[in-house]
Amino acid sequence: MKVKKIGLIGGRGYVGQEILKLLANHKYLKVTSAFSSSKIGHVVNNEYDKNLIYKEIAIDKINLVDEDAYILALQNNESHQYVDLILRHNSNAIIIDISSDHRFDNEWDYRVPELSSSQRSLRISNPGCYATAMQLMLEPIKELLEEPVHFFGISGYSGAGASPNKRNNLKTLKDNILPYSLVSHLHEQEVKVNSYPKVLFTPHVGNFFRGMLITGNFEISKDLDIKKIENLFINFFKNKPLIFIEKEVPNLQMVQNTSKVIIGGFDSDKAINRLTFCCALDNLLKGAATQVVQNLNSSFGWEDNIGIIQ
């Protein structure tokens, strides 16, 4: 396979750095341009490529060359102008947007790799981290569900981004947990549109850097058999090498700095047909950067997990 050239627009943030690390180990994808507002002229990553220098990202100064694909690693509400610029430069370029800007746009493909067929798409909107976990928890059982499902999530403060704010303020987080967006969180809307319409989700930020843990509570329409539920998940994800189904409850240390998803801890209250279990993943990797690489692979017509290390 021919090596494809990748442009990374917004490469300084946490997810951008993880993307660079993943692509450094990919045989067929190479970052040839990286753009930043605060690191112009600095070496992108000494371990990655000592000759790769951050370029100007300002929309009126950015200089695109001949990349095959572009990754938009920007904050929400910033990507549209760059999409227009890329399309004027090369209408056949693949664009992966990690922000929320195109997740509800029918002209873009919203793709959770383990829940989607392989497809060569020019425009892919990467799913949100919490939305990824919730959809992986829902998909094998959504035909069995009754009434709304409830998700409680807690993530590391890296999910609040690198720019200072109250959700990544270490003084505020000391010995603390911060609830936020108590209703209508954007990732809740993603799940309602793409998976199951009756979802109630409450996110929290904890005093740790990376990783997220989600607990789901579900009312099942049929008699509960935990072993059958476990087997349902095992069979559903049997050909998905990044998804692990376990009997025990997962914890963050099992997934931090990996591309794994661990779903487990299945338990029930048969008196009310209640099912509960948990999902853990690294918000910066499987919740973001890993899926960027999986979706790039798919867009080039390759197997999703080429270049991915668990």
Domains and CATH numbers, the chain: 4-127+287-299 (3.40.50.720), 129-283 (3.30.360.10)
SS3 261: strand
Which residue in the list 62, 129, 131, 243 is annotated as catalytic?
A: 129
Contact between 73 and 11 under an 8 Å Cβ cutoff? The reply is yes
- Find tokens 């009997």 and name the residue: 247
CA angle 287, 291, 295 (to 5 degrees): 155
Band the pLDDT of 221: cuts 50, 70, 90: confident
User: What are the φ/ψ torsions at residue 204 (nearest 5 degrees)?
Assistant: -140, 155
For residue 183, the model assigns a pLDDT of 92
d(CA 291, CA 114): 10
Query: How confident is the model over 157-190, as pLDDT tens digits?
Result: 998 887 778 888 888 899 999 999 999 899 999 9
pLDDT exceeds cutoff 90 at 116:
yes
Residue with tokens 């990286």: 34
pLDDT in tens, 252-268: 999 999 999 999 999 99
Whether the predicted model's global pTM rises above the 0.85 cut: yes
Identify whether 278 is a catalytic site residue. Answer: no
